[in-house]
Structure 1
């Protein structure tokens, strides 16, 4: 008797999975055919099968017609949710619409977190909406953030969201600043900040870092304090040994570089610069001056060096004096300006020993006034050269091939 009951329970548990597998791979039209091939002991559960079939059909229809999912998206979501009626999901959608969620917001949210349709809106959604609105967050902001980061609605209000709010306010000092972090860094509310972040901020304070810098890390460079403590501690020691001062912004930028970069990638970047004749001392001087230049991709570094050294004729060590050039767009800023300089030099209107920073550092208006408008009469086509409208081969200057770029300004 026990064995019989056990087999019946087993069939009852596996049948939904069997049906789901058939629907996913062959479609609903093949369900009856496949069921006919099953042993009679399983076919006896046809009533259960039909119910599962109806549940899948209703769920797919609801996801498409009420939530705006495409048939393809609905099919993938079927693996994660089963609806038996419209009552519960309708109550969830009503609350969302009443709080400013558009059809697009709802579609995005359901696609990312379909289980929310089974939530009790009175207990698990409305209290969170009311809490965030009490801080001054608008319905539109709630809809935007929650549809992009729906996991926020799955976290405990008492155990995570409110404690994180209190922690952030203790660092950011005002509700206005907390709201800004919610808008731009909403995933901060999904971390246990008191446990994972507070010990690292304590280290920063012990090093003498000013409180505004602590707030800056949380709002703009949170990956520094979200890494594992062991790696964080290693990076702090490494950055201090390199000569960075915790009381200056360069320390934060250097920490950000190492938070995002493995040791092997760091070594690869060093080898790229070494390949252009930079000594380790040169590289460290550049890194201390502009830490973010090490975030530039290896291909971008190669392209910048190749153009400035091989096309413009500067020494590689000249470029080390202005490492910000690696953060600028090569195609949109560096090349057009350098070509203007090259043309003016070829006509004897500028001296040959201009530094790279003289060419690429000034804001656009200042550059145009200094190097384009000033020489418009002597070189009428200068502005067209600046805009890339003239075939540079005619000028005896080979145009540099465009490569994918990172960190464009």
Structure 2
């Protein structure tokens, strides 16, 4: 009976649509309009919340607008009661303004947690165990994400404390076995603490170790496979003090032996020697995670830049990260460099000399090109010959050195022409100072002035 009634309703709906298509069309239009209106309204609400969040972060923590905008892409809120309660709680436990700003920057979701029900009990518990405020604030500031953990919060806190204290005493000793007793045997948390302790003993620094602590990535939560993968990565010669070590560990852990062999064969079919493939892997372990289709597509894109097969392989061997750059990014890079006055042949030459240029942002390239050509009067030809200068830091390298050159030019100590770009920017700091500052040792006052100009970079960074 129920099935018959359902069928009757279906027929009736069909008849209604057939008899009055205009009415159904209007209903559909109204529905579409409502959906579109809801989308617009939702978008407006999101922008409103982001604007409030940015204003709050700037006013309450003194963050820059740029940083606050970046944080607002991760979390937003429309009223200040909850974030205020979190900030007041942290201040009550003697966290400094600097520490609080750092905590919110690293873990903005903290502002969304319930201060009294979630965060306060953890801080009180740590104090009940004898944690001094100075210890508590230092450890929580190092890994604020542990405040968002529940079951493993205490063990994670103790691990961070142990690492920080052993670093202060220049000791690599570990008591992971004691920490693991607090965790279920064979659990992800137990495996993680044990694995991180091993990485710690290998010399992995805090900046790499602590993010793994609050991660659930399989390559740090396994056991037998972790040990096997770690052994391979160590034997390959990766430095555990670098992020590249973790990229290699993740890749080896994730890919089966057969899969890795097939990835190597993909590159061999494109003309690479097997030794070249492993050298690329050492430079950029993620190179073995891309599909054959993606690698071939990257070759095709680079051909459009005016490169031939041998040149593409050479670029990949020098800078395998180019394989991970999107086709859109490469095409945009071509347009950017053509836009500053280079020809396609000159761009191809730049790409061969400095492959990372394909990953540079448009505004970065344009800003540096304008500085080099308009302010310093260097020719575009010099930029092509020394294309690595586009990768140098404006604040730490380019501006300080050029300020020294301008100071010398204004005193008539370099003639009327600016020195060659390569002699100013490509050399080391030591060589630059020897050539343009220390040669004036007979004028102590001038040397002091030039060094002051050069070292102003430290106050800006």
TM category, shorter: 0.5 to 0.7
List alignment gaps of at least 5 residues for structure 1. Answer: 1-25, 28-56, 84-88, 106-115, 392-401
Q: Deviations over 1:226-271 (max 9, x none)?
A: 3444222322455577247589874234441341x32223222222
Shift of residue 357 of structure 1?
A: 0.8
Shift of residue 205 of structure 1?
A: 4.4
Residue 329 (structure 1) aligned with residue 388 (structure 2): no
Q: Deviations over 1:182-236 (max 9, x none)?
A: 884167337522266443233334533453x544544441333334442223224
Among 135, 158, 161, the residue aligned to 1:102: 161
Stretch moving more, 246-255 or 222-231: 246-255
- Residue pair 1:325, 1:360 contacting (<8 A) in 2 also: yes
Mapped partners of 2:363, 2:118: distance in 1: 48
Counterpart of 1:326 in 2: which secondary structure?
helix
Q: Deviations over 1:110-159 (max 9, x none)?
A: xxxxxx999623455556766787x786298599866422324674435x
Corresponding residue for residue 235 of structure 2: 174
Number of residue equivalences: 310
Among 226, 251, 254, the residue aligned to 1:192: 254
Map 1:304-319 to 2 at 5 A: 304-319=368-383
Map 1:3-402 to 2 at 5 A: 63-65=122-124, 77=148, 93=155, 102=161, 120-122=184-186, 124=188, 126=190, 138=201, 141=204, 147-149=210-212, 150-152=215-217, 155-158=221-224, 160-162=225-227, 164-165=229-230, 169=232, 174=235, 177=238, 184-185=245-246, 188-189=249-250, 192-194=254-256, 197-206=260-269, 207-209=271-273, 211=275, 213-236=276-299, 238-239=301-302, 242-243=307-308, 245=310, 250-259=315-324, 261-345=325-409, 347=412, 349-350=414-415, 352=417, 354-375=419-440, 377=442, 380-381=445-446, 383-385=448-450, 387-388=452-453
Structure-2-length-normalised TM-score: 0.52
Shift of residue 312 of structure 1?
A: 1.7
Shift of residue 289 of structure 1?
A: 0.7
Q: Of the two structures, which has the highest relative contact order with CA contacts closer than 8 Å and spacing of 6 or more? A: 1
- Residue pair 2:283, 2:320 contacting (<8 A) in 1 also: no
Structure-1-length-normalised TM-score: 0.57
Corresponding residue for residue 86 of structure 1: none
- Residue pair 1:339, 1:386 contacting (<8 A) in 2 also: no
Q: Deviations over 1:318-373 (max 9, x none)?
A: 22111111111223322332343344445164462632112111212222222222
Counterpart of 2:381 in 1: which secondary structure?
helix
Corresponding residue for residue 48 of structure 1: none
List alignment gaps of at least 5 residues for structure 2. Answer: 1-80, 83-115, 127-135, 165-179
- Residue pair 2:119, 2:147 contacting (<8 A) in 1 also: no
- Residue pair 2:248, 2:285 contacting (<8 A) in 1 also: no
